[in-house]
Structure 1
Amino acid sequence: MITVLLVEDSLTETEVLSYYLRQAGLSVVSATNCEEARMKLSQQKPDLVIVDVILPGQSGFELCRELKTHANTSQIPVVICSTKGTEVDKLWGAMLGADAYLPKPVDQKELTNTVLRLTAV
């Protein structure tokens, strides 16, 4: 089963996104900040990471860059999912190594298609 690590500090967003992902038959592990995400990553390597940009402490952009520059996590696809959806934000995400950028509110079909495309073997 495909496992997704969802890094999101909003309980409502976590519930909505988790529901969408589970509807697609995926397993979801969630974290509310980057520190918790790193802890979960050390316990289990997910097939994909979805990260919000605005998080308490370290930003999702920083976590994305960190994941993409470390050898043991660089191959994990990262999807940035944020209300910060300007072209500059999308460009910044791409420069940091994000594999996709989805603006909020997230469309269920677009989320599902993006995750399945990036985790296809």
Structure 2
Amino acid sequence: MRTALVVEDTMTERQILTSCLQRAGLNVLTANSTEEALEKISASKPDVIILDVVLPGRSGFELCRELKADPETNKIPVVMCSTKSSDMDKFWGMKQGADAYIPKPVDQEELLRTVNQLIKN
């Protein structure tokens, strides 16, 4: 079974994303911060990471850049999900190495299409 890691500090958003991904048949791990995300990534090597931009401590942009610079994690697809949805935010997210950028509120169909496309490659 494929595994997704949802990195989101807002409980409601985390629950929405988790239930959406579980309905699609994915095993879902969650993290509330970049530090917790790094621990879970190291322990479980998820197939895809759903990453918020605004997080306590380091931002999702910083975490994405770190993951894509590391040979151990650079092949894991990262989908950034954020209320920061201007063209510049999307551009910056993609520049950090994100494989996709979906604005919040998340269109669940778009999220599932994106995740399925990224993990089947």
TM-score clears 0.5? yes
Distance of 1:37 and 1:19 partners within structure 2 = 19
Q: TM-score, normalised by structure 1?
A: 0.98
Distance of 1:34 and 1:101 partners within structure 2 = 18
Query: What do the CA deviations read for 1:34-61 (whole angstroms, capped 9, x no partner)?
Result: 0000111111100001100000000000
Gaps of 5+ in 1: none
Query: What do the CA deviations read for 1:3-43 (whole angstroms, capped 9, x no partner)?
Result: 00110000000000001001111110000000000111111
Deviation of 1:108 (Å):
1.0
Structure 1 residue aligned with 2:39:
39
Q: Aligned residue pairs: how many?
A: 121
Distance of 1:95 and 1:107 partners within structure 2 = 23
Distance of 2:110 and 2:44 partners within structure 1 = 26
Structure 1 residue aligned with 2:17:
17
Map 1:1-121; keep pairs closer than 5 Å. Answer: 1-121=1-121
Gaps of 5+ in 2: none
